[in-house]
Amino acid sequence: MTIKVGDRLPEATFMTFTAEGPAPTTTDDIFNGKTVALFAVPGAFTPTCSARHLPGFKDHAADLKALGVDRIACVSVNDVFVMNAWGKSQEVGDSVLMLADGNGAFTKAIGLELDASKFGMGPRSQRYSMVVKDGVVDKLNIEGGGEYRVSAADYMLDQLKG
């Protein structure tokens, strides 16, 4: 079943890269008591994800925070080393928390997995964005196949402006 507005995010553990190296972080650590702009990409270093999706959220980080977002997080079904390298290559610094869902457990739990086998990529995440308030989905924007519009940072900004 696909997650929907009003649902609480399932418990999950992601991997992040810290000064000490790879470290687990849970959905509670990320979402409890916070408003989070979460977006997912099919793969780090892929064309649309690298040219538009991640840069859009990085470039609009201050705008999103001015509208009440405490944290911006990017999730992908990639390992923590790939997510760390991608974040560095995109110079996100601490503007975007890079979350590795290496085995796709979170992605499966929210029903937004994508079979990218025909592209040689295996199971991945659909492209989406959501605003999560204290662990509960407040806004959810799921892209159609091959699209990039409703999961963009500027679309979310328009939603938050009301």
Of the residues 9, 40, 49, 72, only one is catalytic, namely 49
Output the CA–CA distances (angstroms, integers) from residue 114 to 7, 9, 11, 72, 96, in the order listed. 21, 19, 20, 22, 23
The 10 Å Cβ neighbour count of residue 25 is 17
- By CB atoms closer than 10 A (0-12, 13-18, 19+), residue 15 is buried
Amino acid at 78: N
Residue 49 is a catalytic residue:
yes
E strand residue ranges, the chain: 13-18, 21-26, 35-41, 71-76, 97-100, 113-115, 123-125, 128-133, 136-142
Q: What is the DSSP letter of 67?
A: T
Residues taking part in catalysis? 49
